[in-house]
Amino acid sequence: MRASPRRPRAPRTPASPSRTSSARTRTSPLSSEVPGSRHADSQQRERRAATTASGLVVVDKPIDWTSHDVVARTRRLAGTRKVGHAGTLDPMATGVLVLGVNRATRLLGHVAGADKEYLATIALGATTVTDDAQGDETSVADASAVTADDVLREIAPLTGAIEQVPSAVSAIKVDGKRAYARVRSGEEVQLKARAVTVETFELTGFEPGERAVAHVRVVCSSGTYVRALARDLGRALGVGGHLTSLRRTRVGGFGLDQARTLDQLAESFDMVGLDDAARAAFPGLDLDEDQARDVRFGRALPAVALPAEGPVAMFAPDGSFLALYEAAGAGARPVAVFV
């Protein structure tokens, strides 16, 4: 599975009753919250009239929040329960979390499959049960002999198309039960290796020492565990390693430059409208009026060549987003129709 090429970033447009944009809705700004300490009065202040607008919200997830925490607060801000996210971020991670509102939730499964970019910090000289700083240490070693050149040498085999064993403390199901639940109950979990693509594994900084620190940038396919890269790098260096910080800087065509904090969204709830979201997330094809009519009815297009593999966004002559299509023989067939 190869990471998809970067696509143009979509501008933010205010949410509204129309399909692609609206006037901003404002509330008084709220102070930062820590999950578990929310009060009913602050929740009540955030509740708004239900929006009928559809679009994507690009959130800069704060540390110690689960992805579900962010979804729950966004539901209050948007005034609708029809909110979901395109790929979980661990509580210790920060950065880009793409949410869908109303009809845009149907895009999320496809957005989740896009390539992702991260900035991460790896501690060398210790392993943990979770492969990150939130787990108990399971081994300790002196990493003072490790150099930046050593790290660069061992990064190379972890780049490209690789087979990666996911972290045992993960949401992957083993015989119907989450792997992390089995680990917490004392079981030993052995997960199977998966094919992933690490397009970029770049050393951006190195701090030598008994517990050396490597700062890295990773661009990878969906399903790649950066925690597992930290674990495998430490193992290859013979000293062990684990992830100490993680910031997601991009999901497909959506980056930190578009992301807003939850407090900013509480002041002004802006969404990327459905048309702009589709252009940013997928390769696009502009149709003529006859083709657009067929697409509105969900018909196959037997003589249309799509510009890329995977889902392609289909646009009417006026620029409005109609559907996602995929290749079928010499033509194309609908994946999801949005009109």
Q: Where are the alpha helices (DSSP H) in the chain?
A: 40-46, 67-78, 108-111, 148-155, 179-184, 226-237, 262-267, 274-281, 289-296
Cα distance between residue 305 and residue 294, in whole Å: 15
Q: Is residue 129 within 8 Å of 183, Cβ to Cβ?
A: yes
Which one of the listed residues 90, 131, 232, 270 is annotated catalytic?
A: 90
Cα distance between residue 316 and residue 322, in whole Å: 7
Q: Is 184 exposed, middle or buried (0-12, 13-18, 19+ CB in 10 A)?
A: exposed
Distances in Å between the alpha carbon of 142 and those of 129, 151, 182, 228, 240? 19, 15, 31, 21, 10
Enumerate the β-bridge partners of residue 184: none
| Residue 257 appears among annotated catalytic residues | no
Residues serving a catalytic function are 90
